[in-house]
Structure 1
Amino acid sequence: MTSPSSLPYRPCAGAMMINRERRVFVGQRIDNVLEAWQMPQGGIDPGEDARAAAIRELGEETGVAPEHLEFVAEAPEELTYDLPPELIGKVWKGKYRGQRQRWFLFRFTGADSDIDIATPHPEFRAWRWADPADLPEMIVPFKRALYEQILHAFADHLG
């Protein structure tokens, strides 16, 4: 059996989308029974630019069109998280130990009616705007440190 530490990280892009009140879009995953909420994120396709992947993922998961997004900032470094041992082998066909992520902050310039999570391949069953400070408590526990790092990276734009 392959050791989890020998598995690579899945390349991924994440998007923190804030509204005019500097509240953050979070969605409740459709495939998880936990009450956890998360920001949009997803894999980077081979040859795809990380920021382009973040914008694509926002569209795929929230229905938000690129014209309703204003780029604000990119986290200065790649962030990683490890899956808990019980999920390795069950997620991503067992190919990865976790994710390495490039995070981007976008200002949402549209109206709430421009958000539609009933996309062709829905990932969220519900969504809402959340206070940034509440994010670490809303996410699944194994991603808590990651969300604290994201908040730190974008602190100058959230206050």
Structure 2
Amino acid sequence: MNKENVSAAITDLSIAIESGQHSELSKFVSRAEENGNLLMFFRNLSSYAEWCEHRRCTFLHFKAKYPNIVTLPEGQEGDHIILRNPQLPGFELMIVWKMHIDEEGTTTPVLDLLPKVPQQALEQKKASIDNAPACFRSMLLLFGIETAIENLIQVVGLEK
């Protein structure tokens, strides 16, 4: 058989992934099954996996550095961390880190800040608390992910 005349075509592709936690990945897999482009699938799956590993390492770094402040409620594979100051009961900041995969398969990290504040503190500092998510997104653009999280811990006085 002459190797130059050999060609291959994907006629049916079925990819199984665990359901639930990675809804963006599920959508991407469905698109890959529809168009059958394995090269694009594996290239973009690799990028997605690298971002997930980066998130995991970043979360573990902050958990190790601030063990009394940082909580990983879903474990090291989760998509969010919670910052709590033991001296401020009821006050916590949740940093959510999702991965967005666009139509072309490009993975983009999407981070957001969700504050949980006791009612008494909310009444006193409502404007500051309402602006916290927008300020966090600005810090992400200015400093990058790790430095923004580090600065958030320091700015809110969670570091001694």
Taking structure 2 as the reference length, what is the TM-score of the superposition?
0.25
Higher relative contact order (CA 8 A, sep 6+): 1
Superposition TM-score, scaled by structure 1 size? 0.25
Q: Which structure's residues are more often strand, by fraction?
A: 1
Q: Higher Cα Rg: structure 1 or 2?
A: 2
